[in-house]
Structure 1
Amino acid sequence: MDLPNPAASARLQAHFFDGRSARPQRVQAWVHEGQLHLQSEEDQSLRHFPLREVVWPERQRHGQRQAELPGGGLLSHHEAGTWDDWAQASGLRDSLTVRWMQSWRYVALAFVLSIAAVAGLWAWGVPWAADKGVALIPPAVEQQIGDQALSWFDQKMLKPSKLARAQQDQIAERFAQALQKAQAKAMARDRGAKPWPAYQLHFRDAGEAMGPNAFALPGGNIVMTDALVQLLDKDSPQALVGILAHELGHVQHQHGMRAVLQAGMVGTLAGLVVGDFSALIAGVPTVMAQAAYSRDFERESDALARQLMLDADIKPRVMLDFFDRIEALRKKKGDRDSLPIAFASHPADAERKRFFGAP
């Protein structure tokens, strides 16, 4: 409550409790020169309290009004309207917060501003905090997180691959050769170019539930489904290289770890501070299965994949085979969202076709 005009001297009959006895004392109360003055009607004794030390009641409360006094005392009045009239006549103004709460316009404005603040925090604050939090996670912990996530998928959604070992090895070798060639060109172009992150390629049978798919987990585990291999390996094997390059982009930029941190920001950051990663590890599989990478993450990985393919002398246009065949499968199933690719909200296919199809 704001301080009054020192000249105000309106009087209020009220009850005073001294904090030591339960018996109320009838008093006259008035405000003058920055002090609350109380005069007992019984013995005419005076008490004085600095206004800045008095805790005044908020006007939105109905019924009895009570002011908390220094030393544990209490000034009370049973009629809210009489108290409010006295407070106004004494120059005691409601605080800015109370005045806002008394106006529906201000309440509506505060609500809108709160929503905007929360939206801003989610849009910019949480991603920023996640980026900073990733740096606090030791590589060994991130690897442990990815391994546990893969174990969860193997138990809940995936089965051992039915592909021949020779075919798996051929795909893995083709990708490794592309990485080696791209790394050499990158180093020739820029001696400070970073090496590719460590990764482990796993083939799994995902059945109809996941279909042709590939996804990356924290720590470098990359999973490719048998259905995706069957869709492309026979006549468009380089498209598989492009898909793996895209997933390697998620690994390099730690998109999976950042998504997990964003999903459980408060608890996760608390764990990072104290060095307890158990809750984070336990929650990762579910988050990875349900969460979608942001489109910015997907574009970042697409950019890495396209550059990697160019450096490996692979035409990025081969990725159009992948998009066209996925679209054909979707139309055949009659469900635009029946084939989620890498658990992600990728940019629209038309946008990605333009990106990879550009000369």
Structure 2
Amino acid sequence: MDDSSASGTVVRVSARYFDGRSTRPHTVQVRLAQGQLQIDGETVRTQVPAAQVQWPERTRHGPRVARLPDGASLQSLDADAWDAWRRDTVHADGWVVALQQSWRAVAASVLALVLLLAAGYVWGLPWLAREVAQRVPDGLEDQVGEVVLAQLDDMVKPSRLPADQQRAIEAAWDDVLQRHQKAQAVHGRAVRPTQLLIRESEIGPNALALPGGTILLTDDMVRLVQNDTRVLSGVLAHELGHVQHRHGMQTLVQIGVLGAATSLVWGDFSGLLATVPLWLGQAHYSRQAEREADAHSVGVLRDAGISPAVMVTLFERFELFRRCGDDLLKPAAPDAKGPAEGTQACHKAEKQKTGQDDRQEAAWGLGFASHPADAERIAFFRAAAR
């Protein structure tokens, strides 16, 4: 391409030439003619095939550069003149450079990237975790469950419940499980094996489903529902849903992926900024898992001939526990005929509580709960019981 204007005048541009061997600049005039980049100055006179010249993408600020063979280069501090000369004689910038120079295009690109990352965070990561978890061999999941159980040794101890009470709970759950297995076998669906462990624990009224099928039921949960085996079967049916859907392995996969991502972004996974998005991510996914487990528990209870309404009783007891605390877990006296001592103390304390206390409790508890709101779950189980 020739660098002549419409009037036939040869177009040149001033630049500084560096030969690649020293830092001394040479003032030159540059023009393009017959496929050659001609460089003329008092101390320099050379030409380079235009095809061998590298033209880096221009930036909004800074000098303009052309890279020549053997380490030589041209630089121009007059960006406007260089850009006009290059546009008229070499070639116009590509669309990528044009987008880079547009703040609207940059803003749109950033927004698109944020939306893409958000979509991957909300839908992509759960899907990936679910697919990976379903393909984990049972033997490997069992080993993971054993490791997790070993890590809980400091938090769980042998149950302090009477032996006959434990046997009654195990027998009731075994009956529910057998009925559920028979009902599922008719449809050709297998129920994943589980192992029930009743343990004393510092984590309060709770039940946990570990990878591999181990279900932990705490003594305090038994005390909370006043040893109602039908309610406890509903609790265990919920945990069976976690086992069946392999939520434990999904959680481990999600933690691994989120941990790797946050460590790459922040550089230190142990820092607060790294752990916050990880914690928030797991809170969201836990709510999704709880809803799946709730739906699964309804099917288990129906197979066993138990109304899903027993789960409403569970949440009513949890509401009392939030209001009364550990007093609700006090056992009844051996010869008592009425409510347990803790229930009586709780109702007495209820009369002394104010509406302000209730509002403070709700504001603190629901904002950071990883489970769906109790009202939502109660409505779900009441509808399922109809």
Tell me the TM-score normalized by structure 1.
Answer: 0.78
Instruction: Please point out which of 342, 347, 352 is paired with 2:372.
Output: 347
Question: Residue 16 of structure 1: SS of its match in structure 2?
Answer: strand
When residues 58 and 322 of structure 1 are mapped into structure 2, their CA distance, relative to the original with a 3 A threshold, is: same
Match of 1:274 in 2: none
User: What is the Cα deviation at residue 325 of structure 1?
Assistant: 0.9
Question: 1:25 touches 1:40 (CA, 8 Å); kept in 2?
Answer: no
Could you tell me how far apart the structure 2 residues matched to 1:18 and 1:345 are? 65
State the partner residue of 2:200.
Answer: 205
Instruction: Give CA-to-partner distance per residue, 1:140-190, whole Å, 9 cap, x none.
Output: 2222222222222222x33432222332232122112111111112223x1
Question: Hey, what's the Cα distance between the residues in 2 that align with 1:66 and 1:184?
Answer: 77
Residues of 1 paired with 2:307 and 2:61: CA distance? 72
Q: 1:21 to 1:244 in 2, by over 3 A?
A: same
Report matched runs for 1:142-153 at 5 Å.
Answer: 142-153=141-152
8 Å contact from structure 2 (residues 15, 29) kept in 1: yes
Query: Could you say if the C-alpha distance between residues 233 and 128 of structure 1 is closer, same or farther in structure 2, counting changes exceeding 3 Å?
Result: same
SS for the counterpart of 2:49 is strand
Q: CA deviation at 1:78?
A: 3.5
* 1:107-146 equivalences in 2 (<5 Å): 107-146=106-145
Within 2, Cα distance between the matches of 1:160 and 1:344?
A: 29
Pick the aligned partner of 1:319 from 305, 311, 335. 311
Distance in 2, matches of 1:344 and 1:146, equals 25
2:189 alignment counterpart: 193
- Three-state SS of the structure 2 residue aligned to 1:353 is helix
Residue pair 2:254, 2:282 contacting (<8 A) in 1 also = no
CA contact (8 A) 1:57 1:66 kept: no
> How big is the shift at 1:337?
8.2
Greater Cα offset, 38-47 or 121-130:
38-47
* Distance across 2 between alignment mates of 1:150 and 1:13: 75
> Is residue 3–residue 88 contact of structure 2 (8 Å, CA) maintained in 1?
no
Q: What are the residue-to-residue correspondences of 1:146-185 with 2, within 5 Å?
A: 146-155=145-154, 157-185=155-183
Q: Secondary structure at the match of 2:144?
A: helix
**Deviation of the 1:66 alpha carbon:** 1.9
Displacement of 1:25: 5.0
- SS of equivalent to 2:252: helix
Question: In the alignment, does 2:215 pair up with 1:222?
Answer: yes
Residue 261 of structure 1: which of 253, 259, 269 is its match?
Answer: 253
3-state SS in 1 of match to 2:192:
coil
User: What residue identity is the alignment partner of 1:170?
Assistant: A
Q: CA deviation at 1:328?
A: 1.8
CA distance in 2 between partners of 1:147 and 1:67 (Å): 63
Query: Which residue does the alignment assign to 2:40?
Result: 40
| Pairing 1:67–2:58 present | no
Gaps of 5+ in 1: 270-286
Q: Does structure 2 conserve the Cα–Cα contact (< 8 Å) formed by 1:299 and 1:347? A: yes
Change (3 A) 1:102 1:5: farther
CA distance in 2, matches of 1:200, 1:344: 28
Instruction: Give, in whole Å, the separation in 1 of the partners of 2:364 and 2:46.
Output: 84
> Based on CA coordinates, which of the two structures has the bigger radius of gyration?
2
Which amino acid counterpart does residue 264 of structure 1 have in structure 2?
G
How far apart are 1:255 and its partner, in Å? 0.9
Tell me the number of residue pairs that the alignment of Structure 1 and Structure 2 aligns.
Answer: 326
Q: Distance in 2 between matches of 1:224 and 1:339?
A: 23
Corresponding residue number in structure 2 for 1:298? 290
For residue 238 of structure 2, what is the aligned residue in structure 1?
246
Match of 1:283 in 2: none
Q: Measured at CA, do residues 120 and 203 of structure 1 come closer, stay the same or move farther in structure 2, by a change above 3 Å?
A: same
Residues 1:307 and 2:299 aligned together? yes
Check the 8 A contact 2:4/2:11 in 1, yes or no: no
Structure 2 contact 197–216 (Cα < 8 Å) conserved: yes
What is the letter of the counterpart of residue 236 of structure 2? L
Aligned partner letter, 1:356: F
Q: CA RMSD in A?
A: 3.2
TM-score by length of 2: 0.73
Change (3 A) 1:291 1:158: farther
Asked whether the equivalents of residues 27 and 38 of structure 1 are also in contact (C-alpha less than 8 Å), the reply is no
| Residue 56 (str. 1) matches residue 48 (str. 2) | no
